[in-house]
């Protein structure tokens, strides 16, 4: 009887050992598969804003490029992740991010009280030229002060601080707010509005690429605000520290200046 019990005990212990070994192997395999999976980080943007984010045809393929895209790619590289870009309307970007449509938003977005109440942002990565007014070159001499826009139709991208400028500094103008900057510029070119308020670098980019347009240099609209990378409120995915590390690196090692130069050159190839 003792021999039988001893044999049964040995058999149970052997089976337990086999089961444990099998479980350990399965866990190791699962961990290996997880480690081999390419992580992905999704950038939300509105790709109609050269030199920050815009479309070009490159090697026969429609690609989104620009300063913000280069920064997003570096963030992904530093995380060991693959970058995916999702294009959305500018005024819905933060809302859609909070709904889980993307992990971060880069779209030349400044911090405002309203935005900070609904999302969290990184340290600043770039401060543009102050906002500027873009008009038809043939009408440039008409505009020497903000009062000259009384009764005029002035366009801006909806949901931006440029739209606020029209309301606050041009109270007698009629705002024409649209989601697409490309559509706004077309409206200006085809005389469906009289002027546009855009970020300085963007206004100058359109003026340089279209001989019909010019920036109103006689009028100042105040100081520029810095741009930040945005994540969902309180950073539920825990990616903001890594983003700030990348921002600190690229703003000190010359990468940002290089990306700006590259994007400005590519802006001439921007497509509507």
Q: What is the pLDDT of residues 142-152, one digit of tens each?
A: 999 999 999 99
**pLDDT range class, residue 1, cuts 50, 70, 90:** very low
Q: Give tens-digit pLDDT for 226-246.
A: 999 999 999 999 999 999 999
The reported pLDDT for the residue numbered 2 is: 46
User: Is the pTM higher than 0.85?
Assistant: no
* Cis-peptide, bond into residue 51, ω within 30° of zero: yes
* CATH of span 132-215: 3.40.190.10
165, two tokens: 């400028």
pLDDT band at residue 32 using 50, 70 and 90 as cut-offs: very low
pLDDT 10s digits, 172-212: 999 999 999 999 999 999 999 999 999 999 999 999 989 99
The two three-digit tokens of residue 105, written as one number: 């938003």
CB count in 10 Å sphere of residue 52 = 30
Q: Which comes out higher in pLDDT, residue 128 or 102?
A: 102
Structural domain boundaries in the chain? 39-127+226-269, 132-215
- Helix (H) or strand (E) holding 245, with range, is helix 240-250
Which band of pLDDT confidence, cut at 50, 70 and 90, is reported for residue 269?
A: confident
pLDDT at 14 over 80: no
d(CA 83, CA 41): 5
Query: For 256-272, what is the mean pLDDT?
Result: 86
Fold of 39-127+226-269: D-Maltodextrin-Binding Protein; domain 2 (3.40.190)
Which helix (H) or strand (E) segment holds residue 266: the answer is helix 255-266
The pLDDT, as a whole number, for residue 38 is 63
Q: Give 42-90 pLDDT, tens digit per residue.
A: 999 999 999 999 999 989 999 999 999 999 999 999 999 999 999 999 9
Q: Which two tokens stand for residue 91?
A: 């005024």
Measured between alpha carbons, how far is 116 from 126 in angstroms, rounded to an integer?
18
The reported pLDDT for the residue numbered 272 is 57
Model pLDDT, residue 270 = 77
| pLDDT of 27 strictly over 80 | no
CA atoms of 247 and 125, how far apart (whole Å): 6
Task: Please tell me the predicted confidence (pLDDT) of residue 160.
Answer: 94
Give the C-alpha separation, 174 to 154, whole Å: 6
pLDDT of residue 73: 98
Mean pLDDT computed over every residue of the chain: 89
Round to whole Å and give the CA distance between 183 and 176.
11
Helices 255-266 and 67-79 pack at an angle, to 10 degrees, of: 140
CA angle in degrees (0–180, nearest 5) for 62-63-66: 145
Q: Do domains 39-127+226-269 and 132-215 have the same CATH topology?
A: yes
- Name the pLDDT band for 28 (thresholds 50, 70, 90): low
Report whether 165 contacts 156 (CB < 8 A).
Answer: yes
């Amino acid at each position: 009887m003792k021999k039988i019990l001893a044999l049964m005990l040995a058999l149970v212990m052997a089976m337990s050992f086999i089961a444990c070994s099998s479980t350990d192997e399965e866990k190791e395999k699962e961990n290996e598969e997880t480690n081999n999976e390419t992580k992905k980080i999704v950038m939300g943007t509105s790709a109609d804003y050269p030199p920050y984010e815009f479309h070009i045809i490159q090697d026969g393929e429609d690609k989104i490029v620009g300063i913000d895209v280069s920064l997003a790619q570096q963030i992904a590289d530093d995380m060991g992740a693959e970058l995916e870009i999702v294009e959305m309307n500018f005024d819905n970007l933060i809302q859609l991010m909070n709904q889980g449509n993307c992990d971060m938003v880069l779209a030349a977005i400044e911090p405002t009280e309203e935005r900070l109440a609904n999302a969290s942002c990184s340290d600043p990565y770039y401060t543009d030229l102050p906002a500027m007014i873009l008009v038809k070159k043939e009408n440039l001499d008409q505009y020497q002060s903000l009062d000259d826009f009384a009764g005029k139709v002035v366009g801006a991208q909806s949901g931006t601080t440029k739209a606020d400028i029209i309301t606050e500094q041009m109270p007698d103008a009629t705002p024409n707010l649209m989601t697409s900057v490309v559509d706004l510029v077309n409206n200006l070119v085809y005389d469906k509005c009289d002027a546009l308020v855009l970020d300085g670098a963007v206004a100058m980019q359109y003026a340089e690429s279209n001989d019909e347009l010019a920036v109103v240099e006689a009028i100042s609209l105040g100081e520029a605000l810095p741009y930040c990378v945005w994540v969902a409120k309180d950073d539920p995915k825990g990616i903001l520290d890594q983003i700030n590390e990348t921002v600190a690196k690229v703003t000190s090692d010359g990468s940002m200046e290089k990306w700006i130069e590259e994007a400005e050159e590519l802006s001439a190839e921007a497509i509507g």
